[in-house]
Amino acid sequence: MLRRPDIIRIIIPVVLSIFFVIMGLDVCRGDDNATISLNNWPVVSEWVRELSLVPADPLHSLPAAFDLRTEHRALPAAHDHPCASCWASAGTYMVESLLMPGQETDLSETDMQMTMNEECSGGGSLSTITNYLTTWNGPVTEDDYQDLVVAQGKKAPIQAHVQQVRILPARRSPNDNLWIKSAIYHYGPVYAEVSKYGIGHDNPNCPNCYYMPKRSPQHAVALVGWDDNIPREWFSHTFYDEEYTPPGDGAFIARGNEGFCYYISYYDGTVGYDITGFLSMESTDNYRRIYQHDPLGTLSWLELLDIPGGYEVPNQLPTVYGGNVFIAQEDEILSAVGFKVEDHLTVSEHPDTTVHVSVYLDPDSGPVNTSGPVSSFTTVVYMDGYYTVPLPQEIPLSAGQRFSVVLHYGTNLPIETKTLTHHFAVSPGESFISKDGTQWFDITDVPKSGDVFGNLDIKAYTRKLVLPAFVSNLSWSTDWDFVSHLSLMPWHPGFTLGKAPEVESTEPLNNETVTDGVVLKVHFKDQIKPGPGLADVVLASDDETRLVFVFIEGDTLLIPPGGPLTAHETGGKKWTVKIPADAVTDIYGNSMEQDYSWSFVVMAVN
């Protein structure tokens, strides 16, 4: 893990990796000529159907075997820098894979490790990876880390912005794999935790096949694929004089920091039962600036009992309010807000949790302005993770202007926590909490503030305010068609062919009136693939915004609504689907030419 490795854990993978190469058993090499069967359908658990997060019928069929590396969407296995624990290796590999197929970049595991832990063997998890990436501390290249961080003590430029992180629901059985498979297929490598015991066991048929019926998770890996037909016998082995054989076939393909990949049986007792999740990534020009008071992210949760006066409202579900106040650094546009939902909200327990977001200018009472917010909306959360939510309407800010983002959800708020390697400074006027949204407490007035607790993990994202350029007395005339005769497309393998995906039709049709229970579909003219913006598809009404978990089936984008689509009691409610241009690509990697959206009206059923 997640823990300091001992000498045995170092020697065994090295010896085994040499053996795998000799025997030709490295499952992580991939096969560029591999073919994938589309005949098998995944098991859809009753639990998933009950949540209405995916269609009851498996409209989004997945292949019986799939490997991101054969799709050129993940790198082969390699030995990582010695100063990088398994969690940092998994997180860095996930981001490297998201940069493909356009580029292969060697990102620095050590920068992630040392930024978050200050020691080579320090433990971490998906939460640590999330903190490093969503605070824009990384990722950075290995070359920049060595040349700037190590040699000059400077901060290296980051290569991408991670704006969304999703923690998947835990598996409930060995065949309850739809969430993990769908995430790998549509979004890229999935973080997972397994027990380290038994890796490299004594089965000569497959030394890199792993299965333990029940152990606590100690090791982080990135899942890059699966194969439903890997025989159960491959996993038979003896461990401490006990015989182990899974009761069925099938396995995930995992990439660890040992320098090779291995199969993990579906019947393993740890993989998928603890923390699993995935990232989505955007270019660094998506936002100009991030506003935050937690430069290393969240390590704990502030509960109602931590608020002065406790919480004493009988017969009410206890909730907590939190807000951060920022100062605009220049004339700019407030475009989006970010927040974390983790540990206390799970899909199974809170399938319809609503986060209320309010934005205030010039706050005069804690984080609020008594004249009211300039923007207020709700977003429904169906998974734990980190969310970046665009504002319904962007807000201009003036240099030096104070503004705030206030959240209301759940019983806890994400907050900095002091550890041996995580230090922070807390100043008055930055973070505020409330038990009722009326009486606010500065975080510095909370017991343990500055000693245990720091600031809240609530962020704001801005864009540069761009004014039209002034052009005087300019005229131009020519018979030459520059557009038809000039090609500006950069040359990348697999990117010079094809054309931008085009929408052919939608279900329901634009402005069509429907009742609840529909599965939203966008039909394209040709086959499509997941793009980097797939996790940013939004379903919005006049009072609610949802980031939805979407699927691709051939030429169709399937958008399960993620819960009931409400209607106004006095009439229909308009819902709009907003799809970023880079949410999907053609088979060559070309994105849509522009964002796409369409609307429909939901009528209440009497």
Q: Determine, yes or no, domain membership for 193.
A: yes
Nearest Cα to Cα of residue 84 among 57, 45, 56, 122 = 122
Evaluate whether residue 273 is within a structural domain.
yes
Residue 397 forms part of a structural domain: yes
Q: Which residues contact 102 (CB under 8 A, 6 or more apart)?
A: 492, 495, 589
For residues 582 and 228, give the distance between their C-alpha atoms in angstroms, rounded to a whole number. 31
Give the list of residues 6+ apart from residue 203 with CB closer than 8 angstroms, or none: 209, 234, 235, 236, 237
Q: Is residue 556 part of a domain?
A: yes
- With respect to residue 110, please indicate whether it lies within any of the assigned structural domains: no
State the Cα–Cα distance between residues 61 and 70, nearest whole angstrom: 19
408 is a domain residue: yes
- pLDDT at position 422 is 57
Are residues 180 and 316 both part of a single domain? no
Under 8 Å between Cβ of 159 and 133: no
Mean pLDDT, 10 residues at a time, the chain of 606 residues:
40 38 40 27 29 38 90 77 84 91 84 85 88 94 87 88 91 92 92 75 68 82 96 84 88 86 91 90 92 83 57 52 96 95 50 81 97 91 86 94 92 66 77 89 75 84 73 37 30 50 94 80 91 85 80 84 66 88 85 93 72
The answer to whether residues 299 and 270 belong to one domain is: no
Residues 274 and 312 in one domain: no
| pLDDT value for 590 | 86
Task: Examine residue 470 and state whether it is found in any structural domain, yes or no.
Answer: no
CB 381 within 8 A of CB 419: no
Domain at 582, CATH number:
2.60.40.1220
Mark whether 368 and 399 lie in a shared domain: yes
Tell which of 229, 260, 278 closes a domain: 278
In the prediction, which pLDDT does 49 show? 30
What pLDDT is stored for residue 296 in this prediction? 84
Residues written for the chain: 606
Tally of domains within the chain: 3
Query: At 442, which CATH number?
Result: 2.60.120
**Distance separating alpha carbons of residues 540 and 108, to the nearest angstrom:** 38
Check whether residue 223 and residue 368 sit in a common domain: no
Q: Note whether 250 and 241 are within 8 A (CB).
A: no
**Residue that is last in its domain, among 464, 484, 514:** 464
pLDDT of the residue at 303: 60
Q: Which helix (H) or strand (E) holds 425?
A: none
Q: 55: domain range?
A: 7-80+163-278
- The H or E element containing residue 547 is strand 545-547
Nearest to 390 by CA among 600, 139, 602, 579: 579
Nearest Cα residue to 222 out of 187, 179, 188, 186: 188
What is the rounded distance in angstroms from the CA atom of residue 77 to the CA atom of residue 98? 15
Q: For residue 302, what pLDDT is reported?
A: 64
Q: Do 328 and 457 fall into the same domain?
A: yes
Place of tokens 């990722």: 139
**Residue 456 included in any domain:** yes
Residue 548: CB partners within 8 Å, gap ≥ 6? 537, 538, 539, 559, 560, 561, 562
pLDDT digits (tens, 9 = 90+) for 229-259: 999 998 887 777 778 889 999 999 999 887 7
Residue ranges of alpha helices (H) inside 102-150 are 109-117, 126-134, 142-144
- Residue 205 C-alpha from the chain's centroid: 36
Q: Read off the tokens for 221.
A: 């890996």
**pLDDT at residue 542, as a whole number:** 82
Q: Are residues 528 and 453 in the same domain?
A: no
Give the span between the Cα atoms of 80 and 90, in whole angstroms. Answer: 10
Same domain, 211 and 69: yes
pTM of the complete model: 0.75
Residue 257 corresponds to which tokens in the numbers above? 């920091």
Shared domain check, 298 and 430: yes
Question: Are 325 and 240 contained in the same domain?
Answer: no
Q: Give me the residue label for tokens 């634009």.
A: 510
Is residue 29 domain-shared with residue 55, that is, in the same domain?
Answer: yes
Q: Which of 255, 278, 301 is the last residue of a domain?
A: 278
Whether residues 16 and 59 fall in one domain: yes
Of 503, 488, 468, 117, nearest in space to 296 by CA: 117
User: What is the model's pLDDT at position 560?
Assistant: 73
Closest CA to 69 of 104, 19, 111, 114: 104
